[in-house]
Amino acid sequence: MSHGQDEASQESLLLAHLERIDGVQSGFYAIHIHLSQLRSGNRKPHYLRIAARAFENLLNNFEATLFQFHSADFLLICREVPIEEVDPVIYKLRALFNEDPLTLGEEGSLDDRFTTWYDLSQGRDYSTLKEMAAELAEEDENRRTKKAEAKAAGEASAMQGEDLNPGNLAAINRNLEGVRIIDLIHQQTAVEVVPGGKGNVLFREHYVSMFDLQKRIAPDVNLFGSSWLFQFLTETLDHRVLAVVARWDFEEMKSPISLNLNVSTILAKEFQHFHNNVGANTSKVVVEIQMIDIFSDMGAFAYARDTLQGSGYKVLVDGLSPLSLQFFEPGLLGADFVKINWSREFLGEVPSDRIVEMGKVVEQTGKDKLILSRVDSEDAIKWGLSLGITRYQGRYIDKVVNAMVSKGVI
């Protein structure tokens, strides 16, 4: 199951396997399971490991071989295995991913994009699969060469290294307490799109780029390696950011700003200090609070929200995905804004009844409260508009805003 550098790739093993049965394919068949087409969130390595285990019985008791491609696809080759033995396994896999649009098509129907079956005793199916295997094996070879070259050149991809753990956390937290932070604070504008191609600035979010922060305080540690310990670090980060922002002149500020804060920070002394500095300009500050924080102590959140709103701040609930809209109504949280993180995987594919349901949630939450963020393309805006959303934030919006500024329509 490993993809070690020196081991033969699963793709080339498949090719070898197919060549071995050339001429004696009678009784052989194959099932290609297109897990690479799952939404990226559903393609995590531990999910795939669990999915692979569903085949264990089959592999132990029958003449069956499973190949797991680098792309995340699975390919099962069987010889004289009763279909009734295979069906439940495939069914189990579909169930595991049943929130994913990939599994929506009915098994065997034209819409079924989850599996492709090959009868290898038929020459045509056999050669199709063999061609595919040859192609995959070659692709994989190229990929390995490139990776080896990159490694030699010393390139490292984002957030690699040891996971955050209690052992390295203390040192990282100390680094965070002492590190220069002001130049890591970036900003991004959230806008309301109004008819006539114009836009209104809602606020400018000020945030610390985690990627930059990692490079500065813990170059060899993946800060996202433990969600709980990461959350702990954000509490320290809050205090650092608040100390910087508290020195700003809110009187002179033209458009509102937003800050990401933990509930515990809002209830702490540091916020009092910040509040004193903001003075009568509380309406220029939006406080963004994460879902995970809210659900960890709803009572504390409600208290913080009331305190903030009572003093004139705006409260924003962050950390939702289109998926979460299918499970609860963010409107009940009593915030002024709700932010939904767009991601490419929600394009198309989603059946219309779910879209209708999401539309209802959007309606109930209040369209003027919803902001679609991480907008990276026009497609995202189209998707948002189809649900009635008119407030946006993201890389693509940054470009639009720049264009608007130069045209003077914002």
Partner 1 sequence: MAVDASKRLPSQENLLLDYVRRLEDHKEGRKAVRLHISKLKSYNRRDHHIRAASNSFESLIKTLKGQLFVLKNSDMFFIYKGEAHTQTETVVQKVRYLFSDDPLLEEGKDSGVFTIWFDVQTDYSEILHIVQGLVDEEKKRATEVSSRMDTRAALKAKQEQGEPLTPEVLERVETALQRTDLSSLVRRQFVCSIDKKMVPEPVFSELFISIKDLRETLLPGVNLLSNRWLFQHLTETLDRRMLAMLSKTDTFTISGDISFNLNISTLLSSEFQLFDDNITAARRGGMIIELQKVDIFADLGAYLFSREFVQEKGYRVCLDGMTYQTLPFIERKRLGVDLIKVFWDGEMVDGGEKMSAQIKEMVENAGDSKIVLCRVDTREAIDFGHSVGFKLFQGRHVESLIAEDTRRRELLRLKMRMERSEAPPED
Q: Which residues bind partner 1 (CB under 8 A)?
A: 39, 41-42, 44, 46-47, 50, 53, 92, 95-99, 165-167, 169-170, 173, 226-229, 231-232, 235, 267-269, 272, 291-292, 294-300, 302-303, 306-307, 310, 321, 323-324, 326-329, 332
Closer to partner 1 by Cβ: residue 96 or 410 = 96
Closer to partner 1 by Cβ: residue 235 or 349 = 235
- Structure token digits, residue 140: 């994989």
Closer to partner 1 by Cβ: residue 98 or 145 = 98
Taking the complex as a whole, the smallest distance from the CB of residue 236 to partner 1 amounts, in Å, to 10
Closer to partner 1 by Cβ: residue 160 or 165 = 165
Upper half-sphere CA count for residue 197 (Cβ side, 13 Å): 7
Taking the complex as a whole, the smallest distance from the CB of residue 293 to partner 1 amounts, in Å, to 9
Please name which of 329, 340, 401, 332 lies closest in space to residue 370, comparing C-alpha atoms.
340
Closer to partner 1 by Cβ: residue 42 or 115 = 42
- Structure token digits, residue 133: 């295997």
78 vs 25: CA distance, rounded Å: 11
Closer to partner 1 by Cβ: residue 53 or 146 = 53
Taking the complex as a whole, the smallest distance from the CB of residue 268 to partner 1 amounts, in Å, to 6
Say if CB 51 and CB 93 are below 8 A apart.
Answer: yes
Taking the complex as a whole, the smallest distance from the CB of residue 223 to partner 1 amounts, in Å, to 13
Taking the complex as a whole, the smallest distance from the CB of residue 109 to partner 1 amounts, in Å, to 22
Taking the complex as a whole, the smallest distance from the CB of residue 240 to partner 1 amounts, in Å, to 17
Taking the complex as a whole, the smallest distance from the CB of residue 224 to partner 1 amounts, in Å, to 11
Closer to partner 1 by Cβ: residue 112 or 235 = 235
